[in-house]
Each structure stands twice: as C-alpha cells, then as structure tokens.
Amino acid sequence: MVIQSLRDIFSDPEIDRTNMTPEVKKAIANHRMKKYKMICFFGAAFVVWTDKAALLNRIYQHNHTSAQLCTFYFIIALVSVLLGIIASSFPDTAPWAMVVAWNGSLQAFLFLNACFHLRMIELYPELLHLTISFMVTSVIFSIYWSFWARDPTVRLVEAARHE
C-alpha cells in the first residue's frame, strides 16, 4: 500500500512503468543519460574556465578556513562532474552509471550556485549572510533535485521486494 502511494506520487501518470518493455526502459535511461551528460559537460566547462583563484582570494581576505573549505569543495565538484561525464558516456560498463551521472549534474548546479554567491562578495560584503543564502539555496535545490530530478523506479522496485 505504501509502495503504491509512492508510485502514484513519483510517477508520471502518462507513463506506466510497470508495463514497459526492456527496450523502452533502456531508451528512457539512454535519454536521461544524454541529459545528464549535457549538464555535466556544461558544468565541467564552467568549473574549468571559472577564475577560481580570484574567487578564493576574495574569501581568503575574510576567512582563511572558508577559503580552504571552498578549495576542497571545488576539487570534489570537479571530480564529481568528470565522473558524471565518464558514467554518462559509458552507461553500460560504468558501475552505478545513473547515480554517478546524477551526482555529477547536481554538483555542476551547486558549483554554479557557489560561484554566484562568491562573486556577490564585491557587491554585498557580509560574508555570513552570503554563506547562509548559499546554504539555504543549495539545500532547497538539493531537495528538489533529489526528489524530482531522478528516476525513483529502482528504489520503489527494491522497496516492493521488502514489503
């Protein structure tokens, strides 16, 4: 009963996933991977071409520890986006390809959000307010991305086995 209600909430009413053939499921997965690949490519280009030294220098003037944490996050975001490109390029052989590509796409958007807030330091120098704004917008976007930008079918099928 719980599984059926979750299916009703998360599934598109026009698409009945239970009666799909494996070929249709594969086509849908390939379409999703192409979208993830495109997002990851744009994210990788943005991560590589952004002047991170200038952004980190602005933070370093206010708080040394925050600059070190941002450097660590920039590395994690770059690795996640590159892994997302690899996973979406080779979905048949990459382990957990959909999850890795999904995470790479999410990190691309979060990096864009971080850069936006870091560039705002020149216009609005209150670092605490910008940090809170970054955290709130990142949490809201991550919650939205987690529940509506991925395919919940796998978890629902596994949950149905345990029921």
pLDDT, tens digit, 9 for 90 and up, residues 17-62: 566 777 877 887 888 889 899 999 999 999 888 888 888 888 888 7
Mean pLDDT comparison of 60-64, 91-95, 145-149, 154-158, highest-scoring range: 91-95
DSSP 127-143: HHHHHHHHHHHHHHHHH
Tens of pLDDT, residue by residue over 84-94, are: 999 999 988 88
- Residue 6's Cβ-count burial label (10 Å; 0-12, 13-18, 19+) is middle
The average confidence (pLDDT) of the chain is 80
CB 119 within 8 A of CB 55: yes
| Residue type present at position 78 | L
Q: 57 or 149: which carries more pLDDT confidence? A: 57
At residue 161, does pLDDT exceed 60?
Answer: no
At residue 64, does pLDDT exceed 70?
Answer: yes
Task: Indicate whether this model's pTM tops 0.85.
Answer: no
Report, in this order, helix, strand and coil percent for the chain, each rounded to 5. Answer: 80, 0, 20
